[in-house]
Structure 1
Amino acid sequence: MRIGLVTDSTAQLSASEEAGLRDVTGDLFAVVPLTVLVGGVAFADGELDAGDLCRRMDEGTEVSTSMATPAQFTNAYSTLIDHGAEAIITVTMSGELSGTRDSAVAAAENEDLLINVVDSRTTSAGLAGAVSIAAAGISQGHDVASIAGTVADWCAAETRTAFAPATLEHLRRGGRIGAASSLLGRALQIVPVLGLNAGVVAPVARVRTRTKALERMAVLAGEAAAEIASDEQDVYVEIQHADGEPSHPDVLALQEKIEASGLPTTFRTLSAIITAHVGSGTIGITVQRRP
């Protein structure tokens, strides 16, 4: 059976990653973009330079986002079906953060073939990892139900995310702050480290300085790696930054702390959609078991 694979743009896949996924799936791969609105002008996720977006946000430009629509997923499904897909697996960002997952499900209900939508309960590097797991299952010839189950299990048990925004203001405005709302009254006295718990933003640690936040994230990376796998060689840490600069001082400092513990690191720019809700200067880590 030829199985197609669909995800959304918050995975922030590189051109080489997309090419690899097209190769594995026999060109039955599609990315559905969300939309970021900057000063009332709409841009597809990935269309706007990360540094430019952060500068505009720092200047006070109003930024908001729009979920991917059922029509966009319908177009993606139709294209893959036209190219020979006999079933499709869709892996989306957390349904707790966006209605994108619901759009994927609504579009799937109008198709005659099997489309299994998996809520990754994560986004960015975690979502990219989940897509890699799905692609591996497709390449190995597994059936749709088996692949979807493996992806869901991997997302729940083998990936962990933490991040430190420069401010909670953007999360508060967008309503994505979840359980971290308890921190708002003390936002001036603390630097929060947040995480995703079952797809919902939740507080992980409260520290006093940015330096302490980076130190705490490095400790969290080590703890998560030990929890995910007994062999650290099976785990890696992806550092993410809203500004898209791998040479940013915070990125380099965090990289040094994590690699000193023996864990390898990679870098990924946050998608414009995520940055719109967490703000410029946000740094994050995703610890995950290798696909």
Structure 2
Amino acid sequence: MRIGLVTDSTAQLSADEREELSEATGGLFAVVPLTVLIGGVAFADGEVDAGHLCAKMTDGTEVTTSMATPAQFSEAYARLREDGAEAIIVVTMSAELSGTRDSAVTAAEAEDILVDVVDSRTTSAGLAGALSVAVAGIQQGLDTESIAGTIADWCAAETRSVFAPGSLEYLRRGGRIGAASSLLGRALQIVPVLGLNAGIVVPLARVRTRTKALEKIVTLVTQAAAEVAEPEDTVHIELQNAEGEMDTADAELLSTRLRELGYEPSFRTLSTIITAHVGPGTVGVTVQTKP
């Protein structure tokens, strides 16, 4: 059975990654974009430079986002069907962060081929990693139910994300702050370190300075690496920031500290959709196993 693969744009895949995923699925791969609105002007996720978006947010320009629609997913499914897909796996960002997963399900209900939608309960590098798990299952010849189950299990057990926003204000405005809302009353006295738990933003630590927050991230990354991996597993560490530049002071500090501990972190810019909610100055690390 030829199985197609669909995801949303918050995975922030590079051109090389998209090409690799397309080749691995025999051309049966599609990315459905979310939308970011800057001062009321709509752009597909990825059309706007990360630094430009951060500058606009910093100067007070209103920035909002819009989920991917059922029509967009239907279009992606139709293209894959036309290209020979007999079934489709869809892996989306956390349903706790966006209605995009629900749009994928709504579109799937109208299809006459099997479309299995998986809520990754993560985003960005975690979502990108889940796509590698999907490809591994497809190449092994597994059925869609087995692949979907494997992806869900991997997302729950073998990927962790930790991040420090520049401010809690953007998360508060967007309503995505989840269990970390308990921090708002003390936002002037603390620097938060946050993570994703079952797709929900949760507090992991409360410290007094940005430097301590970055050191706490390093500690949590080390703990997560031990938690997600068996001895035979390869652990992948990916550094991410909102500005899209590896040479920011925070990113450089994290990279240096992680390398001192023996890791070789890769780098990924946060999607404009994620940055619109977490805000400029956000830096984070995702820890995951390689399938």
Coarse TM-score class (shorter-chain normalised)? over 0.9
- Aligned twin of 2:194: 194
Distance in 1 separating the partners of 2:70 and 2:164: 32
* Secondary structure class of the residue paired with 1:163: strand
Partner of 1:86: 86
CA distance in structure 1 between the aligned counterparts of 2:6 and 2:236, rounded to whole angstroms: 24
Q: Please say if residues 101 and 119 of structure 1, whose CA atoms lie closer than 8 Å, have aligned partners that are also in contact.
A: yes
Query: Which residue of the partner structure matches residue 177 of structure 1?
Result: 177
- 1:262 to partner: Cα distance: 1.6
AA in 2 matched with 1:270: L
User: Matched residue pairs, number?
Assistant: 291
1:132, 1:109 → 2: CA distance?
A: 25
**Partners of 1:186 and 1:82 in 2: how far apart?**
54
Quote the residue 2:145 is aligned against.
145
Distance 1:207 1:268 in 2: 25
Higher mean displacement: 179-188 or 221-230? 221-230
Show structure 1 runs of 4+ deviating over 3 A.
230-233
The aligned residue for residue 46 of structure 1 is: 46
Structure 1 unmatched runs, 5+: none
Distance 1:262 1:175 in 2: 37
2:271 matched residue in structure 1? 271
Q: For residue 18 of structure 1, give the secondary structure of its aligned residue in structure 2.
A: helix
Which ranges of structure 2 fall in alignment gaps of 5 or more residues? none
Structure 1 equivalent of residue 286 of structure 2: 286
Tell me the equivalent position of 1:164.
164
Aligned equivalent of 1:29:
29
Q: What amino acid is aligned across from residue 19 of structure 1 in structure 2?
A: E
Q: Cα offset for 1:139?
A: 1.5
Q: Does residue 119 in structure 1 map to residue 124 in structure 2?
A: no
Amino acid in structure 2 at the alignment position of 1:172? R
Cα distance in 2 between the residues matched to 1:236 and 1:263? 8
Question: Given the two structures, how large is their TM-score scaled by the length of structure 1?
Answer: 0.99
CA RMSD of superposed structures (Å): 0.9
- In structure 2, the residue matched to 1:207 is 207
Tell me, yes or no, if structure 1 residue 68 matches structure 2 residue 64. no
| Cα deviation code 1:77-113 (max 9, x no counterpart) | 0000011000000000000000000000000000011
1:6, 1:194 → 2: CA distance?
28
State the alpha-carbon separation in 2 of the partners of residues 225 and 126 from structure 1.
14
The whole-number CA distance in structure 2 between the counterparts of 1:25 and 1:290 is 18
Whichever residue aligns with residue 83 of structure 1, its letter is D
Structure 2 letter corresponding to 1:98 = S
Deviation at 1:248, TM superposition (A): 1.2
TM-superposed deviation, 1:263: 2.0
The one-letter code matched in structure 2 to 1:106 is T
State the shift of 1:253 in Å.
0.4
Identity %: 70
Partner of 1:237: 237
Letter in structure 1 aligned against 2:50:
A
2:97 aligned partner: 97
Q: SS of the counterpart of 2:115?
A: strand
- Taking the aligned partners of 1:85 and 1:232, their CA distance within structure 2 comes to 34
The 5-angstrom pairing of residues 221-232 of structure 1 reads 221-231=221-231
SS in 2 for 1:126: helix
State the shift of 1:284 in Å: 0.8
Which AA in structure 1 matches 2:81? I
Per the alignment, residue 20 of structure 1 pairs with 20
1:253-283 Cα offsets, whole Å, 9 max, x none, are: 0011112112221000000000000000100
Partner Cα separation in structure 1 for residue 168 and residue 9 of structure 2: 24
